[in-house]
Structure 1
Amino acid sequence: MSKTAMPPTPPGQASRPATSTPPAPTAVVGFRARRRSPAMMALGVALIVGGAMGGFLLYQETGERTPVLAVAKEVPVGDVIEASDLMEVSLSLDPAVKVFEADQRGEVEGKRAAVALVPGSVLAKEQVTDRELVKDGEQLVGIGLKASQLPATRLSPGDEVQIVFTPSEGEQAAGKNDANSPDAGPESVAARIVRVGAEQQTTGDRVVDVAVPAAQGARLAAQASTGDVALVVGSEGGS
């Protein structure tokens, strides 16, 4: 049996026993598949859909705005609307709202305000008229009316009406006792509606501005101050 000869040990050095180097341990790395919860998956889908819908709605709000006309300066009722009285704003409009779009300036300028126009408000079509509300030779008279002194039908600027002089209580009593007094009917004045004021919440009263011939303005104003008047609406197109 043969033996392997070991190299001689140099003088002055201790001999070292023969050793063998053990192999290095190998690290074993394992991966476990993560299980996704159905609830978390559903939440993720919902967040994706919600984000998409939010972006769509934001686009709808910012992308579908319409340039419209608004009031830049105060315009009294009956005054002519000028270019400087208007400005343009962009809004998301409800189709039910009837307003003037920005490219319809030509349909507004030169016409008259049917109501008092307030700065900052969007200009609605019913606020503009081509009728002269107070013409040359006319006077504007304001009449305070109770609910029982005017019809329930909506009044609009330009409507032709009659202002009837109603007798006071004393005159009514004298008329009933005088059988020979001719009944010529109550006196009245033809008028045209210029403005209808807001109804008072506590009393139901409202002020109606009417245009009348200048010769009858003072008398109508004096009669209206007594409260002995009533407003009558005639057939369309006439009184």
Structure 2
Amino acid sequence: MSRTREATGVAERSLSQQPGVAGPVSPPRVSARRRRPGVIALSLALIAAGGAGVAVLLLEVGDRTQVVTVARDVQVGQVLTEQDLGRASVALDPAVKAVRADDLDQVVGKRAAVELRPGSLLAPSQVTKDSLVKPGEQLVPIGLEPKQIPATALVPGQKVLLVHVPAQGATETGKTSEAAPQSIDGRVVKASNAAPGTGVVVVDVATSASDGPRAAAWVSAGTLRLVLAAPDGS
């Protein structure tokens, strides 16, 4: 028995003395990392800022208003139908006046006070319940050459004077050349774009039924001039 133990001890000592034979391996020591309060605080602040940014973005995207849009071309004075209008959801600036989608039924059946273009928002001022040509009035189309077109844009509802200017050297029977020219009160209903090539603009002017034929005769003779009335309508 003693010989066996001695043999075992000699074997163990010989193994420990042989090169390349490792002894017992101790487990690695894991050092605990020091937590830095500053880094933790910065991380929390970044997470909070990111969450706040997402919240603001969601609020902006969600704050939209249903409004009425123009679906197709509508001429001045034309009665609006449901087919002329549409709906859209937009982020509406408080300064922009637009008809809300809930009020669509209130604008259907009214007339366009101005020319409406597809894709634009419909504003309350662009529609009217009144006919642009009132009972007892007539519509007189007047062609204006480029030199006769006022620099101020002609808009529906603008008051004008239709002035008769006789041809140079000609006077009317019983009237002297010093007499004040005749004039007719009118109101712009529509002004077209300048015609390609000629630049002529056609202006539809509403006048009283009694003055309509006279204004048309002046237009035919080329002796009519359109003058803008004063801002107060006088």
Normalising by structure 2, report the TM-score: 0.69
- Partner of 1:229 in structure 2? 225
Deviation at 1:186, TM superposition (A): 0.9
1:183 is the counterpart of 2:182: no
Distance 1:220 1:95, change over 3 A: farther
- Counting aligned pairs with the same residue, the percent is 33
Deviation at 1:33, TM superposition (A): 1.7
Q: 1:17 aligns with which of 4, 7, 13?
A: 7
- Partner of 1:3 in structure 2? none
- Partner of 2:52 in structure 1? 52
Structure 2: runs of 5+ lacking an equivalent: 17-22
Q: Secondary structure at the match of 1:18?
A: helix
Q: Secondary structure at the match of 1:107?
A: helix
- Confirm or deny: 8 A CA contact 1:68 1:90 kept in the other structure: yes
Aligned length: 215
Q: In structure 2, how many angstroms separate the alpha carbons of the residues matched to 1:120 and 1:50?
A: 36
Q: In structure 1, how many angstroms separate the alpha carbons of the residues matched to 2:86 and 2:49?
A: 40
- Partner of 1:218 in structure 2? 216
Deviation at 1:66, TM superposition (A): 0.5
- Confirm or deny: 8 A CA contact 2:149 2:201 kept in the other structure: no
Distance 1:199 1:35, change over 3 A: farther
Q: In structure 2, how many angstroms separate the alpha carbons of the residues matched to 1:34 and 1:95?
A: 54
Normalising by structure 1, report the TM-score: 0.68
Q: In structure 1, how many angstroms separate the alpha carbons of the residues matched to 2:193 and 2:47?
A: 50
Deviation at 1:117, TM superposition (A): 1.6
- Confirm or deny: 8 A CA contact 1:145 1:208 kept in the other structure: no
Deviations 1:84-109 (A, max 9, x none): 32211111111111110011124312
Distance 1:8 1:39, change over 3 A: closer
- Partner of 2:127 in structure 1? 128
Q: Secondary structure at the match of 2:8?
A: coil
Backbone CA RMSD of aligned residues: 4.1
Q: In structure 2, how many angstroms separate the alpha carbons of the residues matched to 1:227 and 1:54?
A: 69
Structure 1: runs of 5+ lacking an equivalent: 1-5, 10-14
Deviation at 1:207, TM superposition (A): 5.3
Deviation at 1:167, TM superposition (A): 4.9
- Partner of 1:27 in structure 2? 27
- Confirm or deny: 8 A CA contact 1:66 1:91 kept in the other structure: yes
- Confirm or deny: 8 A CA contact 1:141 1:217 kept in the other structure: no
Q: In structure 1, how many angstroms separate the alpha carbons of the residues matched to 2:193 and 2:55?
A: 43
Give the residue type in structure 2 aligned to 1:125.
P
- Partner of 1:12 in structure 2? none
Deviation at 1:125, TM superposition (A): 2.0
